[in-house]
Structure 1
Amino acid sequence: MVNMRQALDLGMGSINYAKLRSALTTLGIIIGVAAVVANVSLGASFNQFFTDELGTQGSNFIVIYSQDVNILHENELNIVRNTPGVEGVSPSKGQMAAVTFISSKRQIDVQGVSQDAENILNLQLEEGNFLTDKDKYIAVLGWKVANEKFNRNISINNYIDITFTRVDGSSITQKFKVKGILGSPENTFVQGGPDRDITIYIPIATMNELLNVSDYGGITAKTSSAESVSAVSDEVDRRLARTLGVSARDIDNDDVKPYRIFNQAEIIEQLNQLSNTLTILITLVALVALIVGSIGIMNIMLVTVTERTREIGLMKSLGFKKADILLLFIVESTLLGTIGGVFGVLLGVVGSYTVESYLSIPRVFPPYLILMGFSIAFVVGLVAGVYPANKAASMDPVEALRHE
């Protein structure tokens, strides 16, 4: 009766006897396991990256924007502000406007907001201060607006002229004093609303006064915690729908509602779904390498069975049972898979860390990936060895001994 220790010793001896052949056999397993481990790790890293990047655009935010004019007013703003769980709210209105500084003129996105936007949108200032609700003709500039858009850099206390176009087609120009300049954020993959680098922020009341309107283009709110953002968003949606005459049965129908609403949790979920889908697709491609690797192991084990036919016949004539022969060849096949798994996991770890460093994304490597890599390789080696082992174990000892 062959025990497991003996089977392992014999299996390692056979692998060592043909080192080059064994190395080439495990190559498919190494590549397949490395690809699976690296792809899953990168998927987790991108999920974390999206979460972190979205956090730089605001904290626990809910965004409501109008589908038409004269939808969102002070009444709707107060409804959002008074919803339980909301701890900050800012109306907004945006327009591309002609901005003049000294002798140069540029088209710049101008956003009217309230003082709460600094906290809700996580706006970081490089110099100066953010606007307050008491300010009138005051502007806060994105970093690129202040440093790259015009022939000369704009500093705080400088003045710029902003020309707005009203609904009736007329235009109005107003001089604004620069109160603050936003810091230059790192290049981000996720953008929450307007690109703040190339945006000018002014008081919402001033913007509506100049445009001769009273409605808001959107409302951005901040909830007290990340866990509550979805529940609070649903409650805000219900209250706005009731106020704006949307029936309960149509609350989920965006074609009926005069506004749209989304929150940070929904965006993160959508981005994670996209990342997970891409990870699954790439991993499925990587599994092809594992299939090729398993075929390679099966092929080499069949060759081994043929080479050791007389040995198998001798073992059977000495009293080795079918189960013993099965165990010997399955253990050898499983060892080939496991060895490939060890090197595959190591290569996957190095590969994922290299790509994550190159892309400057968070390094996330769930510990379960190590076990998953070994398990995949073990199972592939085990399955690939079943048929050759059964073929060896089923040989007739007399015929095997006659084999040349």
Structure 2
Amino acid sequence: MALMQAIKMSLKSIIDNKLRSFLTMLGIVIGVMSVIGLVSLGQGATEGVTSQIKSMGSNLIMVSIMGRGMDTSLSYNQAMSIGDSPYIKEISPIMSANAYAKYGDQSYEESINGVNENYMSLRNLKLAEGRFILSIDNDMRQKVAVIGSNVASDLFGFTDPLGKTIQLDGNNFTVVGVLASGGSSISNSYDDSIFIPIKTMFVFQRNRGITQIYLSATEEQYVNIAQYHVENMLNTIFKGDTNAYRILNQSDLLSTVNSVSNTLSMMLGGIAGIALIVGGIGIMNIMLVSVTERTREIGIRKALGAKKKDILLQFMIESLTISGVGGIVGVIFGFIASYLMGHFMNMTVSPSINTIIISFSFSLLIGLFFGMYPANKAAGLKPIEALRYE
């Protein structure tokens, strides 16, 4: 039997049973749509986090201090001495705490960060108005504050915050700058943060211990050299105890994010793949029913000279057509689902070509695999027994 004739007969059988064919395809459609949608969501989240890490600057180094014995932190001078290297461009120790910020009748709990004048360039912060913390602010322990855009909106509404006095846990601070909106990071949102001079923070918190430091290498190619210098300095301070600190650079963060995202994408793809397998089981069940219903037809065709391979080909084409059309519709709905998820979750979600090809190819393989048994069963029917079937 010619291939085109087998295709025509398969399509006729599918069209004659529209509802059954549609319900059979539905499992494949949902499976392909789920694979594309969930994997695209995982990739979109990864791209968002990756872009945030890259926005920090390719030469950023982050140091966390856990301490050794009774020494659980560094002094300000110790922290600053770590930056004494020709390969280190800028350094800023950080102290963070929560405090109630108040202006007039408005009061909110906000994140307060003690930093120096280098922090703005280290974290690529942008100002909407005013200025950032200056060196003289730290030296004179000035009570000045730079506030995030959300803090400005919460406390001041439409009033210009510059020059106004806010209270942080009852202490008066003058607002000298407002950050531009959208200054978010992986760890927190600068829109909801307040920055004050770190030496003022010592007095404000009655604590001088530094547990977090940001540094930048002079050039991207010197990051490893700068990190080696920081490790040597900390080994000297903590007498060789490498568990007393942790050092990360952008490459480390990107490697970790990529590892986690790949695992997440595989997990999401695997979960969605289950729906494809369920759809394949549906195809096999319906094809078995179709074989039973068309037993006499198969017997007549065999009696008229149809070979085993002709019957096998017809049923395999039916199975592949159902899974193929279901895969195409699933790809279309996967695009729509990805767009909707990206829109409502405020993310860039765009299905990759590889995801589409893999999911569609898998749908065809599902049709081929689960259609094989019913097709082989139909092809193996004996003409006499098939003709006598009621």
| Fold in common (TM above 0.5) | yes
Residues 65-107 of structure 1 deviation map (CA, whole Å, 9 limit, x = unaligned): 33355525434434345274x4432122334567675798876
Range 366-375 or range 98-107, more displaced: 98-107
Match of 1:142 among 135, 148, 159: 148
8 Å CA contact 1:54, 1:192 repeated in 2: no
Partner of 2:57: 59
Q: CA deviation at 1:147?
A: 3.8
The one-letter code sitting in structure 1 at the alignment partner of 2:214 is T
In structure 1, distance between residues paired with 2:101 and 2:287? 75
The one-letter code sitting in structure 2 at the alignment partner of 1:388 is P
Match of 2:74 among 71, 85, 91: 71
1:192 matched to 2:187? The reply is: yes
Identical-pair percentage? 35
Distance 1:95 1:386, change over 3 A: closer
Q: CA deviation at 1:219?
A: 1.1
In structure 2, distance between residues paired with 1:387 and 1:98? 69
In structure 2, distance between residues paired with 1:144 and 1:400? 77
In structure 1, distance between residues paired with 2:220 and 2:98? 33
Partner of 1:182: 179
Partner of 1:88: 90
1:4 matched to 2:3? The reply is: yes
- 1:231-242 pair list within 5 angstroms: 231=224, 235=228, 238-242=231-235
Partner of 1:130: 132
Q: CA deviation at 1:215?
A: 5.4
Match of 1:157 among 143, 157, 163: 163
Residues 343-369 of structure 1 deviation map (CA, whole Å, 9 limit, x = unaligned): 111111111111111111013221122
In structure 2, distance between residues paired with 1:313 and 1:98? 84
- 1:113-124 pair list within 5 angstroms: 113-124=115-126
Partner of 2:237: 244
Unaligned runs of 5+ in 2: none
In structure 2, distance between residues paired with 1:102 and 1:306? 81
The one-letter code sitting in structure 1 at the alignment partner of 2:176 is K
Match of 1:222 among 201, 216, 232: 216
Partner of 1:169: none
The one-letter code sitting in structure 1 at the alignment partner of 2:163 is N
Distance 1:328 1:204, change over 3 A: same
Alignment RMSD (CA, Å): 3.4
Q: CA deviation at 1:162?
A: 5.8
SS of match in other structure, 1:134? helix
Partner of 2:320: 334
Unaligned runs of 5+ in 1: 165-172
Partner of 1:345: 331
- Name the count of aligned residue pairs: 381
The one-letter code sitting in structure 2 at the alignment partner of 1:129 is R
Residues 109-155 of structure 1 deviation map (CA, whole Å, 9 limit, x = unaligned): 44222222111122221211112213332432233444424799562
Q: CA deviation at 1:374?
A: 1.7
8 Å CA contact 1:36, 1:283 repeated in 2: yes
1:28 matched to 2:27? The reply is: yes
Partner of 2:378: 392
Distance 1:208 1:36, change over 3 A: same
Partner of 2:37: 38
Partner of 2:387: 401
In structure 2, distance between residues paired with 1:260 and 1:216? 14
Partner of 1:309: 295
In structure 2, distance between residues paired with 1:291 and 1:364? 25
8 Å CA contact 1:142, 1:181 repeated in 2: yes
SS of match in other structure, 1:25? helix
Q: CA deviation at 1:335?
A: 1.0
8 Å CA contact 2:75, 2:208 repeated in 1: no
In structure 2, distance between residues paired with 1:139 and 1:18? 72
The one-letter code sitting in structure 1 at the alignment partner of 2:290 is T
With structure 2 as the length reference, what TM-score do the two structures score?
0.83
8 Å CA contact 1:305, 1:388 repeated in 2: yes
Residues 316-364 of structure 1 deviation map (CA, whole Å, 9 limit, x = unaligned): 3343332222222111111111111111111111111111111110132
The one-letter code sitting in structure 2 at the alignment partner of 1:127 is E
The one-letter code sitting in structure 2 at the alignment partner of 1:315 is R
8 Å CA contact 1:63, 1:220 repeated in 2: yes
